[in-house]
Structure 1
Amino acid sequence: MAGDLRDRVTKLFQKNVANRLTRALPFQTLLETTGRKSGQPRRTPIGGRKIGNEFWFVSEFGENSQYVKNIEADPNVRVRLNGRWHKGVAHLLPDDDPHERLRSLPQFNSFGVRTFGTKLLTIRVDLTD
């Protein structure tokens, strides 16, 4: 019950405050998915790390995240890194240990994901350009 309330409060804050502010920052890393109902681009601020031609990150709410549901419907995404957009294909990795993965990702974002996340899920984007 407490976890559900925490999820709702966190999602409300992210949607109405944090995401609106950080999306406007020119060098914020963004994930762009295609809305599974609207077909419109949906941009979500994320944190993660590019390793070779892959971008790794961990979703706080796993399959409950709207962008994860969008990825399940269409894994073709774009990632904005350092102000530049890259096309890619996203892969949900439920067998990857998200806690271990967070140790290899930027610590500021990883702290937030560990603190507020309840259903962690590792995601890898294979960058195609």
Structure 2
Amino acid sequence: MTTVQRRIANPLARRVPGQVLLETTGRKSGLPRRTPVGGRRVGEVFWLVSEFGEKSQYVRNIKADPRVRVRIRGKWYAGTAYLMPEDDARARLRALPRFNSAAVRAFGDALLTVRVELDRG
């Protein structure tokens, strides 16, 4: 599943204008890495759930450098990401967009909540 996402689904989803993107800095390359994600903005916080937890490349990148950007409705927002293993990721999914949440629940094996505090301004 990871190979399918990395090689086929993610490159296609990155091109969809309304798709939310999470941009991290590659921990090895130092280059920007953009990953399509499902989540929801609540005030100045963007919530998402990683379906593969700490095995996800973007989660590994966040651990190395928590400064991220999130593209929501075509606009980029800078922020700081926090991994929240203590959060109930399954409960969190119930508050996020249904389509993505269903896929995360179906294919995920190590759910992990990610909270991005968006910079003001």
Alignment TM-score, normalising by the size of structure 2? 0.98
Other structure's SS at 1:72 match: helix
Query: What does residue 63 of structure 1 align with?
Result: 54
Larger Rg: 1
Moved more, 75-84 or 19-28: 19-28
- Distance in 1 separating the partners of 2:13 and 2:113: 22
Tell me if 1:80 matches 2:71.
yes
Structure (1 or 2) with the greater helix fraction: 1
**Letter aligned with residue 85 of structure 2:** P
Residue equivalent to 1:19: 10
What is the CA–CA distance in structure 1 between the aligned matches of 2:75 and 2:43, rounded to whole Å? 16
Paired residue secondary structure (1:99):
helix
Gaps of 5+ in 1: 1-9
Structure 1 consecutive aligned stretches of length 4 or more whose deviation exceeds 2 Å: none
Task: Confirm or deny that 1:90 pairs with 2:81.
Answer: yes
Residue type of the partner of 1:76?
R
Q: Under a length normalisation based on structure 1, what TM-score does the superposition of the two structures give?
A: 0.92
What per-residue deviation string (whole Å, max 9, x for no partner) do you get for residues 82-126 of structure 1? 000000000000000000000000000000000000000000000
| 1:26 shift after superposition | 1.4
- Percent of aligned positions that are identical: 61
Query: C-alpha root-mean-square deviation of aligned residues, in Å?
Result: 0.5
Cα separation, 1, equivalents of 2:98 and 2:18: 17
For 1:20-72, what per-residue CA distance to the aligned partner results, in whole angstroms no more than 9, with x for missing partners? 10001111100000000000000000000000000000000000000000000
SS at match of 1:126: strand
Q: Does 1:102 align with 2:70?
A: no
The CA distance in 2 between the partners of 1:52 and 1:109, in whole Å, is: 20
CA–CA distance in 1 between the matches of 2:115 and 2:48?
A: 7
Structure 2 gaps of 5+ residues are none
- How many corresponding residue pairs? 120
